[in-house]
């Protein structure tokens, strides 16, 4: 458990409790999945992806860049086909 992930987990839980909102409502406000919220609240020791970190910073009112995130966002998309390779 890293100090940063523990700090984020505690902040998210305290924010939800102070606002009186559910995981579902926090997910709606951040446009993240409930699973993502639960994972970061449970502090599994991994930093959030950059887009999740930015959304958490926004909802918590923290300075941009204050939540360390993973180095890059994984992508499951394939690059577009090279149109010059298409023959007709």
Tell me the per-residue pLDDT of 20-71, one tens digit each, with 9 for 90 and over.
Answer: 999 999 999 999 999 999 999 997 768 899 999 999 999 999 999 999 998 6
| CA distance linking residue 57 with residue 70, whole number of Å | 15
For residues 45 and 3, which has the higher predicted lDDT (pLDDT)?
3
The answer for 25, left when phi > 0, alpha when psi is -120 to 50, beta otherwise, is alpha
Q: For the whole prediction, is pTM greater than 0.85?
A: no
Tell me the per-residue pLDDT of 38-47, one tens digit each, with 9 for 90 and over.
Answer: 999 997 768 8
Choose among 72, 75, 70, 74: nearest CA to 2: 70
| CA distance linking residue 47 with residue 70, whole number of Å | 6
Report the pLDDT value the prediction gives residue 82, as an integer from 0 to 100: 52
| CA distance linking residue 74 with residue 70, whole number of Å | 10
Q: Averaged over 69-79, what is the pLDDT?
A: 57
């Amino acid at each position: 458990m890293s100090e940063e992930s523990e700090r984020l987990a505690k902040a998210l839980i305290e924010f939800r409790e102070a606002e009186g909102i559910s995981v579902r409502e926090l997910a709606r406000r951040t446009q993240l999945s409930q699973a993502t919220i639960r994972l970061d609240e449970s502090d599994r020791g991994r930093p959030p992806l950059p887009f999740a970190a930015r959304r958490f910073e926004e909802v918590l009112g923290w300075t941009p860049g204050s939540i360390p995130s993973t180095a890059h966002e994984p992508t499951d998309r394939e690059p577009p086909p090279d149109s010059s390779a298409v023959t007709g």
